[in-house]
Structure 1
Amino acid sequence: MRIHTGEKPYKFDVCDKSFNVGTCLQSHMRIHTGLKPFQCDFCNKCFTEKGTLRSHLRIHTGEKRYQCDVCSKSFNHVGNLTKHKVIHSRLIKCDVCSKSFTLESQLTAHMWHHTGVQPFKCDKCGMRFAKNSDKLRHDKTHMGQKPYKCDVCGKSFTRQSYLLQHNRSHTGEKPFKCKFCGESFTYPPSLKVHMIKHTGLKPYQCEVCEKEFNRKCDLVRHARTHSEDKPYECEVCNATFIRKDSLDIHVSRHSGEKPYQCNVCRKSFSHKVHLNRHVKIHTVDIPANCDRCRKSFKNNFYLQKHIKIFHK
């Protein structure tokens, strides 16, 4: 009844603030005492309110229970959903493709897709970025700042969101589901790339040759073929490359390391792409028979798997 009458019998002597419920008074008192009795089991951070702890836990669990009824985007806190809903009432449109944005800075970064301009350059390796926030995040890779560590394998990350995504590789969780075929994925970008199989959409177009790509990173790599930008440099001989995987292949020639081994013939390779190309030799459909149990197989690859499981 006090909600309707406005009665607030619980008064705090320090600041004279009044409350209609005793528990609200107790919560308020912690502001003055500094007491934080509710502790997170994941990171040991403490809170004055149990509800605040519950909201915080969603950062670790990845739970996003609050969904926007306009665009279906989900959030872990109702306050974030409230802020998000504002964007549907005040949007800035791109004059080229009509895509909408909430902030002028987002539109500026987006225009790179049409102009190719990436104004933010890393002083260490020369890589360029459309947004300063992306450049600052990249800077941490040079400074070695990776404060978020996986408890399972010890791998560290620059952002907590990257760690949460990585954790799914251990749990097997695949929360992102294709609405067309039901296939599930661990990461949103994987689902986005998969969706192209159904839609055929290639939204990223090269301004120079008009070639289209389904991923932004593919367009970025391709754009370097039209310029002299080769941001990946070999520390041994100073040779430069457009792509990081090209540098990795090159570096292995200096070290002689061949970490990728074929499970069928045990031949080793310096790079995974070379192994994948080699494996196709074993998967050609030439029937193969097992000498021990006379069972037949489609090709030698499946025969070797059979022998490994049943005869070793």
Structure 2
Amino acid sequence: MIKIATYNVENLFDLKKSGYEYKEYIPNTVSQWNQKTYDIKIKHTAKVIKDIGADIIALQEIESLEALKDLKNRLKRDGLYYQYYAIADAKNTTVKVALLSKYKILYKKETPINATFRYRNILEAKLDIDGEPLYIFVNHWKSKGGKENERVLCAKKLYQRIEEIGFNNNIIALGDFNSDYEENKRLNKWHNNTNGITGINNILHTDELTTKASTALTCKDCLYNLWYDTAEGNRYTYKFKKRKEALDNIIVTPYLLKNKNFHYISGSISHFTTDYHVVKGKINRWQMSRKKPKKHLGKGYSDHLPLTAEFLVK
């Protein structure tokens, strides 16, 4: 059995001034993003990842390879060693997606959405899982600050690449899609500039036809969102004004539901919570002072909960 996870760590910036940082993350300024607070952020992020104990974990909002390596080294110090790693750093965006793995990464490549800095590249990695090939796509789609056509564009690029590989393969697309598993039912008027078409449901074909594993298996070009394999009340990794949202998703080719040698374990999809990450019903995010200029307090973890799923390898 292997555990695969995704986790938006919330702004893990390094201490090098690149010119692309958010104002509060310019190092060694009044915001107090410095060696002390950086070390705490690394320590806290590593604690969550260690407690998850995943064999493969996709990460979002990593600024650089240096930050990823610092996190990897801290995890090794804490007793969790990921021998293999990759980051989508071909484009100098503010935050990037990355991957840590105990299994060998055979190659990594990036799928650009377009040339602008509004979009983060999708990270593609092919892994060797005890002889079984696994394709992983780490996503961080455009935030809800943008309208749905921007997430549709991300979905089209992802789906096109999955089509090229072929649906009769072990493929997992995961990460922060900034989309609910039923975005087509929640799409509000402000976001809807696509006549109701959503990236996650309509473009990736995770719509009403594939809400059950049994029906997903009959579709040749559909994908299956593992959120449908748990109780509706458990389907969230984020809270906005007390409203539970499932912005993070793990989506698979139906082939992973039937492959005898390597398949998803039914009922294993779950958001990951601890008594330190969720306090009094609230997600204990990385904390900053409310008064301006905002300052890092050296407390908290992330505004997202991790999401995990388990797979059986024979």
Output the TM-score relative to the length of structure 2: 0.23
Tell which has more relative contact order, 1 or 2 (C-alpha 8 A, sep 6+): 2
Higher radius of gyration, 1 or 2? 1
Q: Per residue, is there more helix in 1 or in 2?
A: 1
Output the TM-score relative to the length of structure 1: 0.23
